[in-house]
Chain A
Amino acid sequence: MATMFVRSEVLNLRSAPVVSDETELAKLDLNQSVETSGVVDGAGWIRASATVGGQVRAGFVKAGFLRKPASPAVEALLAEARTQWRRFEYGKGEEHRQPFSRMVGEMWQAIGLNLDGEDRDQPWSAAAISFMVRNAGRRHAAYNGFAFAAAHSRYVHDAIRRRNQGDTNAPFWGFRRGERAPQLGDIVCVPRAGSGVDFDHATSQNAFKSHCDIVVAIDPANFKLLAIGGNVSHSVETTEYPLGPGNFLTGASGVFAVLANRADEI
C-alpha cells in the first residue's frame, strides 16, 4: 500500500478499470489522500481507496492523476488550502452569503479585525492566506513564524527580507519569478489595482497592492500550475498560472515574487 494524493481538481474513483457512467463510484478532489496498491496496470489504472462522505470507498483511478506525498510541512499547508476550498464549496460559496460570510469573519478575527464577508468593501485575500498558514501551523509549528497580516505586502516583504538576512527560521523566503520554479506549498504573488509593484519595490517597501495564492498543483505537461487563494471570485477558489521552460512561471503570469516554502527545513 502507498499513500498518494490527487493532483487534478476532480478525479473519478471507479468500480472497475473502465471509463463509463456505470463504473463511477465517487468524485475525489484536489490533494485528497488516496491509499493505493502501488501497482499500475498496462492501461494506467491503479487500485485505490479513499474516504468519501465519511465512508471508505475502494475502486480504481487513473494513476497519472495521482502524485507522491510532498514533505509533511507542505502537505499540512496543502491540506488546509483544500479544507478552505471545500468549505467554500469549491469556489461557489460567495462571501456575502451565509455561512460563507461567517467563514470570512473567522479569517478576519484570526488577525484581530472585527469584520466579515458582509463588510464588502474589505478585500480579504491576505486574511485568507494568513488563516490557511496559521491553521497549517497547528500541524507544523514552523508556520507560526509567518508574518500574518491583512495585506499581502507585509508577508511578501518579510519573506524577501528574511531571505536576504539568511534567516533560517523563516517559513518562507522570497524569490524573483526567474529565480525559482514554483513548488507545491509555495506562495505566488501578482500586483493588483494597477500598483505595478515589482520585486525590487517589494524588497524595499511593505505597503503595496498585490494578491497571492498558495500553489496546490503543478502540471508541467499542460504548462500550468493551480493555486488556491481567498477573495477570488468572491470565494476561495483556484487560479491557473502559466508555466514555461523549466517549469518557471512565464512573464504572462504577472507573478513578481515566489515565496519558497521552507517550513520543512526549520
Chain B
Amino acid sequence: MKSEARLALLLIVAGCAANRVAPPAEPSLQARTAEEVPVDVLVPVDVPVPDGCAAESEQLQSAVAVRSAPDAAGHIVEMLAAGRYLLRCATRAEYQFIRFPAAGEKVDCSTRPAGRRCNGGWIPAATATRTFD
C-alpha cells in the first residue's frame, strides 16, 4: 500500500472512532425539563402523531380542551377559545388530532418547517368549527 493510501485509510478509521464516542447532538427527551418539552411530544409513544393534516384551517365556534391522548383521560395541554384556528388531522375513535398555532401566531401550520411545527393534540372530532373558503 502506498503511503498516501495508508494515510487516507488511517484518517477514515480515526473518523469512525470519533463518531462512536461523540456525545449526541441533542439532549435526550429524558434530560429535558417538563417546560422544555414541546406539546406534541407529550403524546404517548403508543399513540403516534398522525400526519396528513388538512391544509386549510377551521375556526372554533366554542372553547375546547386539547388533550394529550385521544380520550378523556388524556391530560389537557391547552384550552383553545372560540375563534381560535386549527387544522384537522387523523381521527381515532371519537377524537381527532389537530394542529394549531399558538395564540397570536400566524395560521400557517401546513407550511412550517419540521423544526417549527404548530402545537398538536386531540379534541372531540365532533367539535363545531366554521370553515372559510
**Residues of A bordering B, CB below 8 Å:** 115, 118-127, 150-153, 192-193, 207, 209-211
Does B109 sit at the interface, judged by CB under 8 A?
Answer: yes
A152 contacts across to B, CB distance below 8 A: 133
Residues of A within 8 A of B108 (CB): 118-121
Q: Is the CB of B131 within 8 A of A124?
A: no
How far apart are the CA atoms of A213 and B55 in the complex, in Å?
Answer: 22
B87 touches A121 (CB 8 A): yes
Which residues B80-133 have CB closer than 8 A to chain A? 85, 87, 106-111, 130-133
Q: Report how far A115 CA is from B133 CA in the complex, Å.
A: 14
B132–A127 CB distance below 8 A: yes
Is B56 a contact of A123 with CB atoms below 8 Å? Answer: yes
Asked if B57 and A122 make an inter-chain contact with CB atoms under 8 angstroms apart, the answer reads yes
**Contact B130 A115, beta carbon cutoff 8 Å:** no
Known: A118-B106, A123-B133, A125-B133. 5 other contacts (CB 8 A): A121-B87, A122-B56, A152-B133, A193-B56, A211-B133
- A209 x B133 contact (CB < 8 A): yes
A124 and B111: CB pair below 8 A? no
Main secondary structure of the interface of A (DSSP, over half): loop
**Minimum CB–CB distance for B39 against chain A, Å:** 18
CB neighbours (8 Å) of A125 from chain B are 133
A121 in contact with B133 (CB, 8 Å): no
Name B118's closest neighbour in chain A (CB-CB). Answer: A121
Nearest CB of chain B from residue A133's CB, rounded to whole Å: 16
- Contact-residue bracket for chain B: 10 to 19
Closest to A207 in B: B131
Q: Which of B111, B130, B132 contacts A120 (CB 8 A)?
A: B111
Pair A120/B131 contact, Cβ less than 8 Å = no
Please give me the residue from chain B that is nearest to A116 by CB atom. B106
What's the Cα separation between A2 and B57 when bound, in Å?
Answer: 49
Q: Shortest Cβ distance from B117 into chain A, in angstroms? A: 13
Which residue of A119, A124, A210 is within 8 Å of B106 (Cβ)?
A119
Min CB–CB distance A211 → chain B (angstroms): 6
Which 6 pairs, one residue from A and one from B, show the smallest C-beta to C-beta distance? A119-B107, A121-B57, A150-B132, A120-B108, A123-B133, A121-B107
Q: List B contacts of A120 (CB < 8 A).
A: 106-108, 110-111
Question: Is the pair A126, B106 in contact by a Cβ cutoff of 8 Å?
Answer: no
CA distance A52 to B132 in the complex (A): 37
- Among A121, A123, A151, point to the contact of B111 (Cβ < 8 A): A121
Cβ–Cβ contact A209 & B110, under 8 A: no
In angstroms, Cα B87 to Cα A210, docked, is 18
Flag if B110 contacts A123 (CB, 8 Å): no
Contact A151 B106 (CB under 8 A): no
**Which residue on B lies nearest to A195, using beta carbons?**
B133
Name the distance in Å between A107's Cβ and chain B's nearest Cβ.
Answer: 11
Note all chain B residues with C-beta closer than 8 A to A115.
Answer: 107
The minimal Cβ–Cβ distance linking A187 to chain B, given in whole angstroms, is: 14
Q: Which residue of A lies closest to B109 (CB)?
A: A121
B85–chain A nearest beta-carbon distance, Å: 7
> For residue A118, which residues in chain B have a CB less than 8 angstroms away from its CB?
106, 108
Determine the residue in chain B with the shortest Cβ distance to A108. Answer: B132
Which of A118, A121, A210 gathers the greatest number of chain B CB atoms within 10 Å?
Answer: A121
Report if A151-B131 is in contact (Cβ < 8 Å); known contacts: A121-B55, A121-B85, A121-B87.
yes
CA distance A126 to B130 in the complex (A): 13
In the bound complex, CA of A151 to CA of B107 (Å): 17
B105: nearest chain-A partner, CB-CB: A119
Residues from chain A with a CB closer than 8 A to the CB of B133 are: 123, 125-126, 151-153, 192-193, 209-211
Closest partner residue, chain B, to A209 (CB atom): B133
1/0 per residue B55-68: CB within 8 Å of A? Answer: 11100000000000
